[in-house]
Structures are given as C-alpha cells and as structure tokens.
Structure 1
Amino acid sequence: MYGRWERPRSAGFFGMTWGASMLGIGLAIAIMAGFMITHSLSIVASLTVVSAVVFIPLVVTRHGRTGWEIATVGVQFAIARARGETVYRSGRFSRIPGLAKLPGLLADSRLSEYETAGGRRFAMIHVRRTDHYSVVLRVIPRGKELVDQSQINAWVEGYGGFLATQSRSGEVVAVTAVLDNVVETRLRQHREVARLVRSDAPDYAKAVMWEAAADIGGVGVRVEARITITYRAIGKGSIRRDEPEQAREIGQRLQGVLSELARAGLPATPLQAWEVLGLTRSRYDLAAQRDIERAGPTITQTQSWSSIGPIAHDERWDHYVHDGARSISWEMDAAPRGAVMESVLEELLRPRADVPRKRVAIVYRLHSAAEATNLVDSDYRDAIAAEQTERGISSAAARIRVGNTGATREEQARGAGLTRFGMLITVTDHLDADIPGIEASVHAMTSASRLGVRRCYAYQAAAFAASLGIGLILPEHTSVSKLS
C-alpha cells in the first residue's frame, strides 16, 4: 500500500500561504498608515477597495491555482492569440521554406546520436533553453499475470530504488515514465517476421510465422512504454558547453541506469535517433504512422529533427489541433486520497478500443539528498505551524499533514529519496472524433484510479509536447510566478 503524499505548501495565517499572509499584513499596515497620514475616510475606503481587489484573488483558489494565476494565464493566452503565436505553419511554402521544425518549447531542441564505451548507440535530445540533455529508453513492462505478489513488491521496491539512485548526485532533473497506447498497424511484426524467416524454410513453417504476425495485436491497440531521463549540464566551464562531452558523461551513467531498471523488472534499451524521429513525427501526424513504421531505420534518409514537426497547428484554449488531428491534455490535479495498492492506475493505463491513442506520462522531479533534507524539515515545520493556527475541520486535516510530513522526515533520514510527481494524460484522435465521449471516458478512467485531473487550459500545445517524454519538463518553463 502506498500513500502519505502531500502537496508542498508554506503555512501562513488562517490556512493561507506564507506569501499571501505577509501581503495581507502589508496591505493592512498600508491602510492604517494612509488613515494616520490623511485622516480621510474616502482615501481609506479607496485603499480598502484596492487592497481587496489585490488580496482576495490570492486567497480564493481553484484547482490549486489562485485567482491571479488563472487571470494571468488567461491574459497571456489572449495576447499570444492576438499576436498569432498560437498558430503555426511550416513546410515548403512557409516563411522558412523546406523546414517543419517542432513548434513551441521544442523549437530550440536538437537531436544527436552517440555511442557508449560498450558500443551501445543512443539518441540524446538537447533542449537549449534550459540546457537539459535527455535520453529515451524503451522498456518492456512484465505485467502482473501469473506473478506472485512478493515479486511485484520487489519490482516496485526496485523502481523506488532506481528513482532514489538517480536523485543522489543532483544531476538528474526529472525522470518521465510514459505508457503510450497507439493504433496497431502490424508492420513491425511483419518486418520482424521477414527478418527471421529464411528463404529455404518449409512452407508450413513460413505460413505459421506469417499467420502469427497477422494475429498479433488483438483489439488493434498496442502499448509502448518508455522512460526518459533528463540531465542538467554536467561538469564546469567548457565541458558544460560541449555536447559530445555531455554525451560521454551520460553514456558512462547509462549502464548503471539499465542495471537499476532491470532489477525493477523493466529491461530497457536506449532509443536510437531514427526511433526518436519516428516516434515524434507519428505523434504529431497520425497519417504518417504507417509510412514511418514501414521505413524503419531508413527514415533518417528523408527526415531530420528540423523536418518532423507538424505542417500546421492551432492551439485552442482547451484543445490542440495539429496536422488533421485533435489532442486534449489533462494534468493531475490531486493525488489519490488515502492509501492505494500498486494496481491503482490499472484502469487508466489499460488499452481501450474507444480511446485508441492515449498517452499517460508520469513526471518524477527528483531532489538531491541535500535538498531533500532541507525540504522535509521545512514541510514538517510548516505543517506544525498550520496545525497551531487552524481550527475545526481544517485542524483535523492539519494533524494528518503533520503525521505525513513527520513520517516522510523519518524515512528520508533512513535513506529514502524525496520526489515531486505529476501526471499528464493526452488523448489524440481525428478531427471528427467524439470529443465529449472521449472526455467522459477519461474522467471515468481517472475516477476509477482515484485521481483528480483538470484540463490543461491555455497550454495544450506545451502539455502535448511534455507528454511525449522527449525531455521537456514544464515547470522549468513557467511564465507565471507562484506566490507561496
């Protein structure tokens, strides 16, 4: 059973955050000072109205966001739409002919391929705006069929150990686990059978192999799982600015990463450049999936990182239109309440024929050991302060928070890691898809998984790109500061 997660929050007066409490005190002092200086009730009334307009939106929250944060995001989106920044056109007749770069936050990214000392080739994605380097690993989840509970527990413990190991050095920004449901074309099976079947094999054996390839797929939806590890620039001086040096440092760490994942029941293989190209291209352009899978490694002869973006996209307030498809993204608003079993996300992750293109990305943002110690102590102090200032039902919730943060503090002292986590859910379908039906299905799946979700209003394109699991970490690109 798993639980005891808490949303980080500084404690102030009457359940408010510390920043809002200090602002409230400052506004009250300003009102009193205005009266003492002017002795005018009209000026005091004006100051009170202005203070209320500034202060109340900071106190009233919705889905974890203050009124000011919601208003700021809305204004930023309106300005971007007025400037035409939410519409993207590329291709032969665009302003930069011949290029179809990835839009938005991925526009300044680069893809390259390197080789480890052991001869294993891997693709590396460099997001230059944040100076992050990412490696994508294909994993094959074992599933739980015919597996003892003790083995499942060992795998989950191994995965927790993997996350804790990545956080110790402070080099890893985030680990993103993606479970991608895509429409099954069976072209990969056919290509694999063609590679395995010998020309001199018996006709019956050939027929069995080809029939097996044709039958694979079942409901027509397959599952692709991958884990992306995003690193900060490693080293100092010229090493930080040298991409091959960064690739060498990351390559040295890859073998340890693969060993940790193997102990967690997740045999992993680094994706090569052609696989990352095909993955990204087929998610933006659904019609290209069959051609990409048919091309296989030869895709690099016709495609590059600067030509795999959408030909056109239009970011709307509550959905994202790209190359004849429509995508909707949700973010986790609240973790499951209470304790849950390891199968809590099963309903959300299971392939469904009515939602054939569904992508669930869990983002783990890791703290180093030094950061974790400071944070758990700070959270514990804030929880105690909140318990002392709150009354009634809020006081009961505050007592629970004290218990949770105290347990986290003890576990961290024994060597456990500290991780922030969130989730993005993206569903993609054709333009004429039943959007209300898709939304109802997603909410039914998340309710069964005891998750609270909200639609990613005003940043659908960014959420779509982040859920791909190619190294885009949204909190590193925020444009609205949070008063905590």
Structure 2
Amino acid sequence: MTTRMYGRWERPRSAGFFGLTWGASMLGLGLIIAVMLGFMVTRSPLVALGTITIGAAVFTPLVITRGGRTGWELLLVRAQFVMARGRGEHVYRAGRFMTIPGIAKLPGLLADSRLSEYETPGGKRFAMIHVRRSDHYTVVMRVISRGKELVDQSRIDAWVEAYGHFLATQSRGGEVVAVVSVLDNVLETRLKQTREVTRLVRPDAPAYARAVMREAAADTGGVGVRIEARVAITYRAIGRGRIRRDEAEQAREIGQRLQGVLSQLARAGLPATPLQAWEVLGLVRSRYDLAAQRDVEAAGLDITSTQSWDSVGPVAHVNRWDHYIHDGARSITWEMDAAPRGAVMETVLEELLRPRPDVPRKRVAVVYRPHSAAEATSLVDSDFRDAVAAEQTERGIASAAAKIRVANTGASREEQARGAGLTRFGVLITVTDLLEGDLPGIEASVKAMAAASRLSVRRCYGSQDAGFAASLGIGLILPEHASISKRVSA
C-alpha cells in the first residue's frame, strides 16, 4: 500500500521587486521619487542627503527580517512591552486581600470573558465561553483519541481525510473563526480512575473482582503522565441585529450546529463530548495553579460550589520577556515559525506529541483558521498570481524556489475549485513546571522534539501570558487581537 504524503503549504507573500513584498517595493519607489523631487525643487545636496537618510531609516527595518519578522515588528514589540512594563501591566495580583476580595479573574485578553452553560436540542449540556473583546463564542469538546495501534493504514488515511473534510465544512459559512486542537500532557493523579472504579463496582460483586478493579485503579505503571485531547471551535457572532447581541440566541444557534460537529469528528476517529461548565472551570484552574490539580480532580462536579469563572485565574502572575510566572509555576510558550519543509506523513508530529517523563506538563495546540469559500477563491487566485510574478523576477536558487511555489499555489487552485477548503494553521507549544524546575533542560528537549517533527519554532517574546492563554484552547485567537499593523509585517 502506498503511504500518503501531505504538504504543499505556502505562506502568502505579495511579490515585489528584488524578492521584496509589494508594499515594501512601493514604499521604496515612493522614497526614491521623494528624494528626486526634493532635490529638483531645492537644488540642495544637504536636503537630498537628509531625505535619503530619513528614507533609509524608514525603509531598512522593513527589508531586514529576523525570525520571520521585520525590523519594525521587532522594534514595536519591544517598545510595547517596555511601555506595558512601565505602566505595571506585566504584574497581576488578586485574591483575598485585593481591592475586590475573593476575585481571581483571568488576566489579560481573557479578563472580559464569560462562561455560561446551555443545552443542545438533543439534550447535551455544553459550556460556552464568550470573549466580549472580540465577540467570539467558543465550545470546547473532550476527544477520546483512538491511537494507531492495530489500525490499518487505510483506516488512518480515511480518518485524516475525514478531519480535512471537517475543517472544510467549518469554513463554508464563514462563521467559524478558528478550530483549535489541543493535546495536553499532565501529571497522572489517578483520582479520576479511582472515582470511576468506585462508581462501576457494585457492593454485591465478588471479592476477587472488587480487588482486581481496585488494583487497576491504583496501578502506578507507566511514566505518570496523562494525555488529554480536546477540540475547541470558536464562532463569530451569528445572525444580525438583536440576535448578535443576545447570548442565549448565540447558544441556540451553536447548539443546533453542535450535533453535526460531533458526527463529523466521530467519522474522523475522534469521538467527542462537549465539556460542561464545571469541567471548563477545573481545566482552567488546574492549568494556572499546578497545586490545585489534585483538589480539582477530587472535587469533580462539586467544584461549582467553590469556584466560578471569576475565581479560576491566577492569584498572581508576572509576564516576563521570555517566560511567564503564575501561582508558583513557570511556563514558556513557543510558536511555529515555519511549517515542515516538503511533504510529510501523518506521523510528522508524533515526537512532539508523545508524553515524556522529563517534560510532564506539555501542551501542544494546533490552530486552524479557515477561510470562507468566497475568501478562499480570491486568495488562491491572488497567491498564484503573486507566485508567477515572483518567478518572472527572480533568478538562480530563488527562481527554483519560486517555481516550486508556482506549482504549489497552482495545485491549491485546482483543489479549491474541486471543493477543498483553504485554512491557515499554526502551532503553540507550552511547557509548564515548578519555579525550581529545570527549564533550560526542558527547553532543549522541546527544541529537539520540534526538530524531530520538522517544525521551526521560536519563543513568544513579549507575549508569554497571551501565548499561554491561547494554547489552552478556550477561545483566545491571537491574530484577532494583534496590536501591530500588517503594513509593517513580513
């Protein structure tokens, strides 16, 4: 059987002169014209020299890139972080002795979010997170991943294809902002197994059967790391007028779509169940406060009696330039800088996703941002035209890369015309450990895992708190909150 390969992804880039983007090319041309006009009007070499100096100061940071970002992006990110630190916005304090006692709201971009619970027409209860800043609504689903052991390759290929159809279906209406797939590695407390075994064992069961079940619940084999998988779908406000502003109406619209989503995930080998409000509360609480994990799992449904959405955030946090400190723990988040080069198999992320005892708390979030059908058609045509233009202006090795890009964008046009979706994607990797943990060693492990998965990653410098929150998969889609204009981006 032939093994399927996946690839042909391209980063959109407008073609300009000498390999520059179209915006940078037009800016450079405008600066040249400004220098010529200034000299013609004033006939002063000093004025021309001053104009050239100013133009170079504006143009050079736009041309020089580092880590996929222009010089202007790097300067603006650093300036925004310095100003935020000067205002004290990098430090957060909550708890019993603050201005509002007992309140520990989620910090940063999630501060104005709200959690509520509703029911689908089929009777399934689901939690809905409303991020009011962007007016997005998110539903989180727990997924039981089946793995690939004793599964035929044809079946695996069918699952991958079905997941692609699921993403394409979400893009058709233009209502889905993002689909976030999260694989979370956490320390195994075995409290859930014990509670489940207690529920299953009958008092009149044979003594031997009860002993076997208790041993199974108390089994401490393995690396002591549990895998939790979930999929979150973030919607824009649906409808018009009053419906867009009514949270209950949004829940009704999303609930009607939810059964179809669950069916599509099941066909992709991912049987899913919507998380209820108490489960989302426990998820967020235990990620910000590592010491609370055992208490959260022991409380179960009863967590709603002591916790609310306004109390599951950290009591204290400090957002550093390259790491994030929260409630006695330290986290580092990396973002995908470049997709794997060339074609890959479905196992490309296996090394990154596999649980490891030296990195017990690791979270990998794959963010899919589907384009609507109307956007996809114009984008693939635009990408193809830009690729052809770049091929005609570049020479040598750059020309060979341009030919590959033309082939890839041409294939995307054909696939989109046949009904395929167009999706942007990225990866966030978050590793959390205690303050005294060996984070330098963990960082080396993460980079090795990313390299084995053919991913190029970089730290989320200056935005570690936002990266941590986004990787939770609870509705925070970072590109929707960008503070830097696309005009100065690469």
Aligned residue among 28, 31, 47 for 1:24: 28
CA deviation map 1:342-367 (0-9, x unaligned)? 00000000000000000000000011
Instruction: Give CA-to-partner distance per residue, 1:87-122, whole Å, 9 cap, x none.
Output: 000011112222100000000000000001111000
CA distance in 2, matches of 1:276, 1:302: 14
The equivalent residue for 1:265 is 269
CA distance in 2, matches of 1:300, 1:230: 24
Show the counterpart of 1:321: 325
Report the identity percentage: 79
Q: How does 1:118-133 map to 2 (within 5 A)?
A: 118-133=122-137
How much has 1:399 moved relative to structure 2?
A: 0.8
Q: Which residue of 1 aligns with 2:222?
A: 218
1:332 aligned partner:
336
Which residues in structure 2 correspond to 1:49-448 (within 5 Å)?
49-215=53-219, 218-448=222-452
Distance 1:139 1:119 in 2: 19
1:387 and 1:189 mapped to 2: Cα distance?
59
Q: Give the 3-state SS of the residue equivalent to 1:374 in structure 2.
A: helix
C-alpha contact (below 8 Å) 1:69/1:482 kept by paired residues: no
How much does 1:394 deviate? 1.0
Select 2:39's aligned residue among 25, 31, 35: 35
| SS at structure 1 position matched to 2:332 | strand
Superimposed CA distance per residue, residues 304-352 of structure 1 (whole angstroms, 9 cap, x where no aligned partner): 0001000000000000000000000000000000110000000000000
The alignment's TM-score, normalised by the length of structure 2, stands at 0.98
Shift of 1:62: 1.0
C-alpha distance in 2 between matches for 1:361 and 1:400: 29
Cα RMSD (Å) of the superposition?
0.7
Partner Cα separation in structure 2 for residue 448 and residue 217 of structure 1: 27
Name the count of aligned residue pairs. Answer: 484
- The alignment status of 1:5 with 2:14, answered yes or no, reads no
Distance 2:416 2:118 in 1: 36
Partners of 1:402 and 1:223 lie apart in 2 by 40
Compute the displacement of 1:199 (Å): 1.6
Question: What CA distance in whole angstroms lies between the structure 1 residues aligned with 2:222 and 2:300?
Answer: 23
Aligned-partner SS, 1:136: strand
Partners of 2:67 and 2:178 lie apart in 1 by: 24
Secondary structure at 1:91's aligned position in 2? coil
Distance 2:49 2:168 in 1: 55
Q: What secondary structure is seen at the aligned counterpart in 2 of 1:54?
A: helix
Deviation at 1:217, TM superposition (A): 5.8
Q: What 5-or-longer segments of structure 1 have no aligned partner?
A: none
What letter is aligned with 1:158? A
SS state of the match for residue 486, structure 2?
Answer: coil
Question: Aligned to 2:426, what secondary structure does the other structure show?
Answer: strand
Return the offset for 1:482. Answer: 1.8
Structure 1 residue 393, shift from structure 2 partner = 1.2
Contact 1:186–1:217 (CA under 8 A) maintained in structure 2: no
Q: In structure 1, how many angstroms separate the alpha carbons of the residues matched to 2:221 and 2:24?
A: 54
Give CA deviations for 1:2-53 in whole Å, capped at 9, x if unaligned.
0100001111111111111111111111111110011111111111111111
**Equivalent residue of 2:133, what SS?**
coil
Structure-2 change in CA distance of 1:435 and 1:229 (3 Å):
same
Question: 1: CA distance between counterparts of 2:64 and 2:194?
Answer: 57
Alpha-carbon contact 1:132-1:471 (below 8 Å) kept = yes
Report what 1:471 is aligned to. 475
Deviation sequence 1:293-314 (CA, Å, 0-9, x none): 0000000000000010000000
Q: Calculate the TM-score normalised by the size of structure 1.
A: 0.99
Q: Secondary structure at the match of 1:123?
A: strand
Structure 2 counterpart SS, 1:175: strand
Is the Cα–Cα contact under 8 Å of residues 228 and 470 in structure 1 kept in the other structure? yes
Distance (Å, rounded) in 1 between the aligned partners of 2:385 and 2:435 = 51
